[in-house]
Amino acid sequence: MIETALADPTVAEFTQLLQTDAYEMIQEDTLLSSSLWANVALAGLSILTFVYLGRDLKNTRAKLIWVAVLLVPLVSVSSYSSLLSGLTVDMIMLPDGHPLAGEPQFSSWGRYLTWTLSTPAILVGLGLLAGTDFTKLFAAVTMDIAMCVTGLAAALITQSYLLRWVFFGISCAFFLVVVYILLAEWPADAAAAGTGEIFGTLKLLTVVLWFGYPIVWAVGIEGLALIESAGVISWAYSALDILAKYVFAFLLLNWVRNNQDVVGAGPSLLGSGSDSAAAAAD
């Protein structure tokens, strides 16, 4: 009967098949599913905490940072629920040349998709804290999105082992631009805005943790496959997310909350991108 169904599958039957295998793997692998559920729980907790912490903010820029910071766990809770539902995971066949070529491997490609939304929010929060101008923030965010989109491409390519690494390389190049902006451009802006100390802490936290993601990719199933356990890889990403997203966002929001006067006194993001500040000064 199964044979009959598959010899003449309707579209609906096939569409369902696409989600089934990876979904069942999550159900059966406790390590894997716990790495996802842990983030759903912590992202939920972060949302409640951040809403509470932001209830009294009066300053315009502080409120904008709050919205950016709140977006991080909001995107995360949607992202991890999508992974758990089987919508954004799949079993993929890695190309010839890859150590694990020949048998289906678990891919949580939805992670790369949702990072295109959550990581820009982190950079917007950091950029507003540093009091940077629109040009630098625009550059950081576009390079960051390019990094995530090319990372998604690297994860989805199943035809050529070489091209997986080419995209990995392109993604890393974009990442290095972001790192350059974080390390070489924004610290001076932050010092001028009087937020140098907290920016220094958060910058370091972000750069160090973000380097973890390509390393996990390179040593994990999708890269060299030095680590072959889908659960261990997933926990590595999840742990990075917990630190680089919720802990980061909490530290940022908590500081902003206690230093609204400093945040409000910084230069204007929008004004710096225009001539209005100069016009006003005349």
176-215 residues in contact with a copy of itself (CB under 8 A) are none
Residue 273 engages a copy of itself in binding (rule: CB under 8 A): yes
Residue 280 engages a copy of itself in binding (rule: CB under 8 A): yes
Round to the nearest angstrom and report the end-to-end CA distance of the chain: 83
Query: Contact 94/105 with Cβ under 8 angstroms?
Result: yes
Residue 241 engages a copy of itself in binding (rule: CB under 8 A): no
Residues 120-149 binding a copy of itself (CB under 8 A) are 133-135, 138-139, 142, 146, 149
Residue 86 engages a copy of itself in binding (rule: CB under 8 A): yes
DSSP string, 13-38: HHHHHHHHHHHHHHHH-HHHHHHHHH
191: left (phi over 0), alpha (psi -120 to 50) or beta: alpha
Q: Which two tokens stand for residue 28?
A: 């059966």
Query: Contact 234/39 with Cβ under 8 angstroms?
Result: no
Window of 162-170, 192-200, 213-221, 251-259 that interacts with a copy of itself by CB under 8 A = 162-170
Q: How far is the CB of 146 from a copy of itself (least distance, A)?
A: 6
Residues 20-79 binding a copy of itself (CB under 8 A) are 20-23, 60, 63-64, 67, 71, 74-75, 77-78
| Integer Cα distance of 147 and 132 in angstroms | 21
Query: Of 247 and 265, which has the nearer Cβ to a copy of itself?
Result: 265
Answer for which of 158, 201, 254, 260 binds a copy of itself (CB under 8 A) is 158
Backbone angles phi, psi at 112, to 5 degrees: -65, -35
Window of 19-27, 198-206, 218-226, 242-250 that interacts with a copy of itself by CB under 8 A = 19-27
